[in-house]
Structures are given as structure tokens and as C-alpha cells.
């Protein structure tokens, strides 16, 4: 049984959950826990791929679930024979190589064509003894080299497993069959190992450390059945119960990677350039380049420290990173309207307010006409008096509020502005919750 410690973030992994796993696994290795393995709980998003590429960090192993599979129990030497191998040689291998019960028989390409067991050899031996006593048989060695594996091997009713078979299924099959050892095959049918009944005795759950989440609902499948060793996170706590004491480190700060960077400092270890770069990236990602209300002074000082090691300017690099993933060309007008749309009742009016965040307005003018037409169509279809879409440029801290509705000038008045080409310019506005909804609610209620 492999003794790996899987370090993994939440499903639908974001940059913080992936980079905190890589950063923490690296620190564990540097401090002597060599069996730590960084994982991502699914496919990397565009931003995370950009980040790992930028700093030359290989993508971590994708951990789809924490179920125990055949490959987790395999390992160690195993031996095969060919059909032309003599019985004597096969017996010698079983005796010398401590593989006493089963030898897979393979062809030249290593594909399994049969199985020979110690019982088969014993039977051949017994038959020879009986034959010899019969005195009509030629005398000689009881297992002459001329007798080959082919004469006694099984070729039918073979039971084998694949590397990714679940142990729960393997166990069932072993109960139904009588063999001691079972060959494990790869997709091409090649023998890659053996798994025996005794392997299931040493079965223990996989060990895991959760980063950037602390709820089973967000964790990879099978996490509840694993052995939870620790949690490093910055979200609200709720839900998880453990049967043993574990390490928990949860801080109300902007990014899990800020906590991981603190762990390096506490161990007196300076992260290398690549690790510093990806930890910094995650802080910039989670705090929207320090603008999110969740960002703390510790996130900023940590980012500044990491940026010196990584050799990048945090703001300039952060913009490059966000640009790499907020490409307007990848979105449709309808997708932009619906990606973050909320409905409100303001006075007599049903009002929709959506928000699209962009790093710079590059490419926006090319879609403006299609987008405004789609907003009007969506407003009518939804029976809304007003449908507004905040086009928020994180780069300049500015929102353009595109307004469609019965009297769009009324929306402009809510902000003490006038409508220009169907939009209200709102410099300094980033938050719908704090800077748009209250103003409009107050105005339409009056």
C-alpha cells in the first residue's frame, strides 16, 4: 500500500486551490515529508494554466477521487514466464523469487496468454510419479526440461484486473473466485503486476490534507472515506467531523497561499522563484490584485515579499494574469449577461443587474452592438422594466453601466448622472452590492 499524502484543493479548482497544494507539498518535501503529493481536484482553468506555465511549474496530478484502486496496492517485483519456459524453470522461479503461487504466462509482447500455478506444477509432478510407478513410462527426472509451461498452463477462465479497478470491486471478484494471486493488466493487455488476497489485508484509507476548502461537499469524491490529516484554508468553517485530532490552520485572510507562505517563513525556508511566483499569483487572483474586501495587510506584505523573489511587479503581473483568462473573445453576449445576473424589485419595477469584470476594455467595442441588442432582448423576454449590465474594468476601477428599459434616463438620475449613448459612467464603482443596488433602490422607491 502506497503511503502517499495527497494535498488537494476544492473541486472546480481555482488558482489558489492548486497553487496552495503545490506550495504546501513542496514545503513538506523540503522538511522531510517526502511522500506528499500535490494534486488538483480536476482540470486546470485558463488562469491557473497561465500561472504554472509562466513560472515553469509542472501541472500537478489530477485527483479525480480518493477511492482505493488496484494501482495503489501494486508494487514490488513480479515475474512472468513464456509458454516455452520449462516447467522446471517455472518451478525454480516460484521457489527462488518468493512468487510461490502464480506465474502469468506472457507472449513476446508481454501480453497475458495464460496462468500457471504451483498447483498445476504439482499436478504434473504427481502424474509423472504415478506414471513412473506404472513402469511403462520412461524413467528420468520427474520434471524434465523438455516439459514446458504450455502443457499445463490455464488459458481459459482467467481472472485479471486493471490498474484503475476499484478495490471494492476487486474484493467482490476475489470472493467469487479461488485464486491466490491475480495478474494486473494495462489497457493493452500487458502484465504490469500482481495483486493477491494478502494485499487486501494491508488496506488502509488514503491520507489527505485539504487546502482552500473544508467541506466534504467541495472536496473530491471519496474524501470522507480518506484519512484526513489536516486542513489549511481561509473559508468559513462548518461541517467536517474527524475521528482523530488533526492539524487545522484557518485564517480570515485573502488567500490560502498567504497562509502557505507564512508556513515557509515559520520553517525558516525561503521559497524558490517558481514557488514564490505561483503563491503570489494565487494571492493576486483571490484578492483581485488587492482590491477585494477580503484582502488584508498580511496578504499585501506577503505578496510584496514573494514578488521580490519571483522577480515580478505584482500589479503589472497580476494584470497580465487576469488578461490571460478574461478574454472577451471567449464569451458570447448572452453569456456575459447571465454569468453574474441578479434580479431585484425596486418600487414597482422588476430590475435585473448583471456584472462582467474585464481587465481593460480591449475588444469590447467589437461586441458592444451585439451585447446591447442581447440585453434588450433578454429584458423583454424576462418581463423586466430595466436590465442593467455593469461592465467593470478592474484595470481602471471604472464601471460602465449599460441600461436598457422603459425610461433609461431614470437609472442615470439614480446616480445623479445623465445617460450618454445608453450608458452611465461610474468611475470608482466596483461593487454591485455596495455601489449600485442601494442607489437604484433608493431612487425607485421614492
Positions 393 through 422 that interact with Mn ion (CB under 5 A): none
Q: Which is nearer to Mn ion, 275 or 284 (CB)?
A: 284
| Dist. CA 410–CA 415, nearest whole Å | 9
| String marking each residue 209-228 x if it binds Mn ion according to CB under 5 A | ---x----------------
Shortest Å, Cβ 289 to Mn ion: 15
What residues numbered 232-291 form the site for Mn ion, per CB under 5 A? 256, 286
3-state secondary structure of 164: coil
- Binding segment toward Mn ion, per CB under 5 A, in 16-24, 75-83, 85-93, 160-168: 16-24
Backbone torsions φ then ψ of 387, nearest 5 degrees: -130, 120
Residue 404's alpha-carbon distances to 357, 389, 416, in angstroms, are 19, 9, 18
How many Cα neighbours within 13 Å face the side chain of 129? 6
Closest CB 255 distance from Mn ion, rounded Å? 5
For residues 135 to 164, the per-residue mask of contacts with Mn ion, x marking binding by CB under 5 A and - elsewhere, is ------------------------------
Q: Which is nearer to Mn ion, 120 or 212 (CB)?
A: 212
Tell me: does residue 120 bind Mn ion (CB under 5 A). Answer: no
Least distance CB 23 / Mn ion (angstroms):
12
Nearer to Mn ion, 16 or 400 (CB): 16
Residue closer to Mn ion, measured from CB, 195 or 279 = 279
Is 181 or 255 the residue whose CB approaches Mn ion more closely? Answer: 255
Q: Which residues ranging from 80 to 109 are in contact with Mn ion (CB under 5 A)?
A: none
Q: How far is the CB of 20 from Mn ion (least distance, A)?
A: 7
CB of 213 to Mn ion, least distance (A): 8
Binder to Mn ion among 6, 7, 8, 16 (CB under 5 A)? 16
Cα-based torsion angle of the residue sequence 87, 88, 93, 99 in order, rounded to the nearest 10 degrees: 60
Half-sphere exposure of residue 413: CA atoms within 13 angstroms, side-chain side:
8
Among residues 47 and 212, whose Cβ is nearest to Mn ion?
212
Say how many C-beta atoms besides its own lie within 10 A of residue 207's C-beta.
Answer: 20
Of the two residues 49 and 398, which places its CB atom closer to Mn ion in the complex?
A: 49
> Which among 396, 394, 403, 392 has a CA at the least distance from the CA of 440?
403
Total number of residues that touch Mn ion (CB under 5 A)? 4
CB of 278 closer than 8 Å to CB of 260: no
- Cα–Cα distance between 208 and 213 in angstroms, integer? 13
Q: What is the DSSP string of 205-258?
A: PPEEEEES---GGGSPBTGGGSEEEEEEE-S---S---SS--EEEE-SSS-HHH
At closest approach, how far in Å is the CB of 47 from Mn ion?
A: 13
Residue 243 CB partners (closer than 8 Å, separation 6+):
none
CB of 285 to Mn ion, least distance (A): 8
Cβ(386)–Cβ(424) under 8 Å? no
Report DSSP letters for 322-385, one per residue: HHHH--GGG--HHHHHHTTEEEEEETTEEEEEEEEEESS-TTHHHHHHHHHHHHHHHHHHHT-S
Binding to Mn ion in span 422-441, by CB under 5 A: none
| CB closer to Mn ion out of 235 and 315 | 235
Q: Which is nearer to Mn ion, 45 or 162 (CB)?
A: 45
Name the 3-class secondary structure at 156: coil
- In angstroms, give the least distance from the CB of 50 to Mn ion: 17
Q: What share of the chain is helix, strand, coil (3-state, %, to 5)?
A: 40, 20, 35
Task: In whole angstroms, give the CA distance from residue 25 to residue 279.
Answer: 13
Query: Using CB under 5 A as the criterion, what x/- string covers residues 174-213 for binding Mn ion?
Result: --------------------------------------x-
Retrieve residue 423's grid coordinates: 450608458
Least distance from C-beta 240 to Mn ion, angstroms? Answer: 17
Cβ closer to Mn ion: 120 or 286? 286
* Phi-psi group of 286: left, alpha or beta (phi > 0 → left; psi -120 to 50 → alpha; rest → beta): alpha
Report the C-alpha gap between 23 and 38 in whole angstroms. Answer: 8
Shortest CB 439 distance to Mn ion, Å: 30
Q: Which residue is nearest to Mn ion (CB)?
A: 16
Residue closer to Mn ion, measured from CB, 199 or 286: 286
CB of 234 to Mn ion, least distance (A): 6
Residues that bind Mn ion (CB under 5 A): 16, 212, 256, 286
Amino acid at each position: 500500500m502506497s503511503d502517499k499524502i495527497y494535498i488537494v484543493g476544492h473541486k472546480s479548482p481555482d488558482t489558489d486551490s492548486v497553487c496552495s497544494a503545490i506550495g504546501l507539498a513542496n514545503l513538506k518535501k523540503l522538511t522531510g515529508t517526502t511522500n506528499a503529493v500535490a494534486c488538483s481536484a480536476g482540470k486546470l482553468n485558463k488562469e491557473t494554466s497561465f500561472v504554472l506555465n509562466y513560472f515553469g511549474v509542472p501541472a500537478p496530478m489530477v485527483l479525480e477521487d480518493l477511492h482505493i484502486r488496484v494501482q495503489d496496492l501494486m508494487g514490488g517485483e513480479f515475474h512472468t514466464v513464456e509458454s516455452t519456459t520449462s516447467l522446471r524453470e517455472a518451478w525454480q522461479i516460484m521457489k527462488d523469487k518468493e512468487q510461490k503461487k502464480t506465474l502469468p504466462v506472457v507472449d513476446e509482447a508481454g501480453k497475458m496468454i495464460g496462468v500457471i500455478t504451483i498447483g498445476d506444477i504439482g499436478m504434473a509432478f504427481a502424474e509423472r510419479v504415478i506414471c513412473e510407478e506404472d513402469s511403462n513410462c520412461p524413467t528420468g527426472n520427474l520434471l524434465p526440461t523438455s516439459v514446458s509451461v504450455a502443457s499445463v498452463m490455464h488459458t481459459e477462465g482467467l481472472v485479471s484486473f486493471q490498474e484503475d479497478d476499484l478495490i471494492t470491486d476487486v474484493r467482490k471478484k476475489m470472493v467469487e473466485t479461488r485464486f491466490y494471486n491475480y495478474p494486473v493488466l494495462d489497457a493493452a493487455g500487458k502484465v504490469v503486476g500482481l495483486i493477491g488476497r494478502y494485499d487486501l489485508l494491508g488496506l488502509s484509507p488514503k491520507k489527505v490534507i485539504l487546502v482552500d476548502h473544508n467541506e466534504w461537499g467541495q472536496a473530491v469524491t471519496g474524501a470522507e472515506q480518506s484519512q484526513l490529516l489536516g486542513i489549511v484554508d481561509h473559508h468559513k468553517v462548518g461541517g467536517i467531523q474527524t475521528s482523530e485530532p488533526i492539524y487545522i490552520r484557518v485564517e480570515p485572510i485573502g488567500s490560502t497561499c498567504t497562509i502557505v507562505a507564512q508556513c515557509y517563513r515559520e520553517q525558516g525556508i525561503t521559497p524558490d522563484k517558481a514557488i514564490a511566483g505561483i503563491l503570489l499569483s494565487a494571492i493576486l487572483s483571490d484578492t483581485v490584485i488587492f482590491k477585494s474586501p477580503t484582502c488584508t495587510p498580511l496578504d499585501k506584505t506577503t505578496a510584496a515579499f514573494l514578488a521580490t523573489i519571483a522577480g515580478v511587479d505584482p500589479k503589472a503581473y497580476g494584470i497580465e494574469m487576469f488578461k490571460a483568462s478574461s478574454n472577451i473573445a471567449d464569451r458570447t453576449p448572452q453569456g456575459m449577461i447571465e454569468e453574474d445576473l441578479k434580479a431585484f424589485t425596486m418600487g414597482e419595477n422588476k430590475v435585473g443587474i448583471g456584472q462582467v469584470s474585464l481587465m481593460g476594455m480591449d475588444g469590447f467595442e467589437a461586441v458592444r452592438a451585439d451585447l446591447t441588442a442581447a440585453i434588450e432582448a433578454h429584458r423583454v423576454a424576462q418581463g423586466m422594466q430595466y436590465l442593467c449590465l455593469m461592465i467593470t474594468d478592474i484595470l481602471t476601477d471604472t464601471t460602465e453601466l449599460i441600461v436598457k428599459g422603459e425610461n433609461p434616463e431614470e437609472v442615470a438620475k439614480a446616480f445623479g448622472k445623465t445617460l450618454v449613448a445608453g450608458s452611465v459612467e461610474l468611475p470608482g464603482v466596483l461593487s454591485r452590492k455596495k455601489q449600485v443596488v442601494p442607489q437604484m433602490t433608493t431612487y425607485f422607491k421614492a
